[in-house]
Chains A and B, each alone.
Chain A
Amino acid sequence: MQILINGKPHEVAEQATVTDALTALGAPASGVAVAVDDELVPRTDWARYRLTADARVEVLTAVQGG
């Protein structure tokens, strides 16, 4: 199925989890946070949170700013 990770389409397996999406993105393990469809998904739920087709996954980290 297709999902959006940080605005870009990615092909992932049916029943893929947030952890799978992070792997697909190549995101670092620490210093990041995830929202799916504008809702925070806590780190403790990443491995069991199952994504659905067209899910919008946002993976954020800290950058220079402010």
Chain B
Amino acid sequence: MNESTVDDPLVVGGRKIASRLIMGTGGATNLAVLERALIASGTALTTVAMRRVDAAAGTGVLELLRRLGIETLPNTAGCRTAAEAVLTARLAREALETDLVKLEVVADERTLLPDPIELLDAAEQLVRDGFIVLPYTNDDPVLARKLEQAGCAAVMPLGSPIGTGLGIRNPHNIEMIVAAAGVPVVLDAGIGTASEAAQAMELGCDAVLLATAVTRAGDPERMAHAMRLAVEAGRAARGAGRIPRRYWAQASSPAID
């Protein structure tokens, strides 16, 4: 949606987010690895999941994010119905004192694809309840439009299914979502490596959300750094305006007299 300068901040629901790379915390082998990766990523907003308290385990990830000054974005991962997702979002708001929610309502374990019916229902309920809703959605321009109409503060289409690292399978759909959206578009899920994060930004996405690509990389800290550069590079390239694609060659040196 945004064609302007490289440096203007991402704004979601009226809040400025200092980085266009939103991170997840899932998949990291331990908190020390996660901490180094989060610092290298430069992220300002990072997802957490809501689960039953394990009195023995403590609240390590929350303390880490607070220490690093990174805002938490609770998700509703694991929810299959709108009712489950709405309750989880309310619990997250209560526990973490944030109105932000990454709304996830998936249909099944095998694909982890969003259930569009339940997703839209949950989004409508949470918007009415005052949440800033960031829905994880299919790469479907129609559903993205309906989520925006429901009052979501952003739309977050997948590049490919969660954790697959298959990149952006339908770039044209992402472009259509971007072209139509009046809210930020965040490419969420499926990114495998830096070029794909750059591609998302070149397609016009306003931000990228990823976790697995970093946390399960051979060297999470280096990959986090690569993703940071890729998001910045893709954003800059989008703003710069790429050359049109041509069928035949076009010499860049003057012709010989």
A61 touches B51 (CB 8 A): yes
Q: B12 contacts the other chain (Cβ, under 8 Å)?
A: no
Taken residue by residue from 25 to 67, chain B's Cβ proximity to chain A (1 for < 8 Å, 0 otherwise) reads as 1111000001000000000000111111101011101100000
For A58, the closest partner residue in chain B by CB is B52
A65 touches B62 (CB 8 A): no
Q: How many chain A residues touch the partner (CB < 8 A)?
A: 26
Measured between alpha carbons, how far is A24 from B236 in the docked complex, in Å? 54
For chain A residues 1-42, which have a beta carbon within 8 Å of chain B? 6-7, 25-28, 30-35, 38-40, 42
Measured between alpha carbons, how far is A65 from B55 in the docked complex, in Å? 18
Q: A35-B91, A40-B90, A64-B26 are in contact. Are A59 and B52 (CB under 8 A)?
A: yes
**B53 nearest CB across to chain A (Å):** 5
Measured between alpha carbons, how far is A44 from B100 in the docked complex, in Å? 21
Q: B114 contacts the other chain (Cβ, under 8 Å)?
A: no
Contact of B49 among A30, A31, A38, A66 (CB under 8 A): A66
Give how many A-B residue pairs fall within 8 Å (CB-CB). 105
B50 touches A60 (CB 8 A): yes
Most buried by A among B49, B58, B75: B49
Q: B137 contacts the other chain (Cβ, under 8 Å)?
A: no
Contact of A65 among B47, B52, B87, B91 (CB under 8 A): B47
Complex interface: chain B residues within 8 A of A59 (CB): 52-53
For A39, the closest partner residue in chain B by CB is B87
Contact of A66 among B57, B75, B87, B93 (CB under 8 A): B75
Top 6 closest pairs, chain A to chain B, by CB: A65-B49, A66-B47, A33-B94, A33-B95, A26-B55, A62-B48
B-to-A contact residues, CB < 8 Å: 24-28, 34, 47-53, 55, 57-59, 61-62, 72-75, 77, 83, 87-88, 90-96, 102, 104, 211
A-B contact pairs, 9 of them (CB 8 A): A6-B53, A32-B53, A33-B50, A33-B90, A34-B91, A40-B94, A62-B59, A64-B28, A65-B26
